[in-house]
Structures are given as structure tokens and as C-alpha cells.
Amino acid sequence: MSAVGYWAREMLDGGEPYRDYQSMGLSNRQYDILREVVDAARTAKRDQGARAAGELTERRVRQACTDGYRDGGPSRGPWRS
């Protein structure tokens, strides 16, 4: 699983709360994905249990990273023409 998946599992297992995304080895876009996935997975864990949270995490990370990086990387913003 990706770095996003790794950190999502760590946080769901009671790991250290969100840190600086660069110290985690993530891009800003990956960090946004991480926060969204962990928020959804915490709700699933509370309502449906750890197994449901794990399955949701894997599914959401895979889909969000696929969608977010479909173009291969950053292509918009002030640093790009």
C-alpha cells in the first residue's frame, strides 16, 4: 500500500496525530487525501468496527490516489505555466 495508506493505518491504530506532511514523506495532495480518508475511517471504525474501517481505508486510499494522480503529478498552480 502507498505511503498514504501506511499513515492512515498508523493513525487509526492510535499513532501520533497529524504532523507536518513533509516529515511524513507526503506531498500536500497526499496529505489532503490522508486527512479525508482518516476522518471517514474513524467514523466507520466507531460505527462498524475496525474491519470496516480497514476496508474503507484501503478502498478510499486506492481510489483517491488514482483519481488525484491520474495526470501523473502536479500540473496546475502558480509554479506551472
User: 16-65, pLDDT tens digit by residue?
Assistant: 776 788 888 998 888 999 999 999 999 999 999 999 999 999 999 989 87
Count CA atoms closer than 13 A to 74's CA, side-chain side: 10
Residue 8: CB atoms within 10 Å: 28
In this prediction, residue 1 has a pLDDT band, given cuts at 50, 70 and 90, of low
Assessment of whether the complete model's pTM goes beyond 0.85: no
Q: What is the DSSP code (8-state) at residue 38?
A: H
Mean pLDDT to the nearest integer, 52-79: 75
What is the sign, positive or negative, of the torsion defined by CA atoms of 46, 57, 6, 71? negative
Nearest to 9 by CA among 31, 47, 37, 28: 37
The count of residues in the chain is 81
Confidence check: pLDDT of 2 > 70 = yes
Give Cα 29 distance to the centre of its chain: 9
